Amino acid sequence: MRDQVLPNINSPFPHGPQGYAHLDIKPANLLLTSEGRVLLGDTGCVSRRDAAGLLHSPAGSPLFMAPELKRRGVGFTTAADMYSVGVLLAMCAAWHRQTGRCLNFLRGNLPLPDYVPGPLVDLVARLVCAEPGERLTAEQALAHPFLRGVDVSKLAPVRPDVFSPPR
């Protein structure tokens, strides 16, 4: 999980200059290849930034939606996807199938359990900030102590040529 999700978050839709956001990052949309690589699937909520750099089509699953997506009529940025990654990490680290506990964590009423390593607690906290401008970018998250040392080149998705004839 920690070695694959963030490096591949930009796989189907690079955020940076292209300005796309997936807007529905959650466990059900992570696809595992036979080589053990994680891909991001279900692109039905993908949105592209406007000329001002904002997105205007909030979508996704409520638990994983960044707070700014829930404010009607307010533009938001691709930082919304990083919030979803933070929720995903919290769910995987502590609360698989325990939506209520994760909601309490996101509301500030429950800390991550003591068995979650300190660096992961810090990473999650930096990803689920209420203010989008305070969230880590994918590049900053990869440089975080919890993920430092991950060889991203081994995690990059392989895009098979779907039109090549079978051998």
* Pick from 52, 44, 7: nearest CA to 28: 44
24 is catalytic: yes
What are the distances in angstroms from CA 122 to CA 2, 99, 136? 14, 21, 11
Q: What count of residues does the chain have? A: 167
Report the alpha-carbon distance of residue 35 to residue 53 in Å, rounded: 36
| 146: DSSP letter | T
24, 81, 114, 161: the catalytic one is: 24
Question: What pairs with residue 32 in β-bridges?
Answer: 38
Residues recognised as catalytic: 24
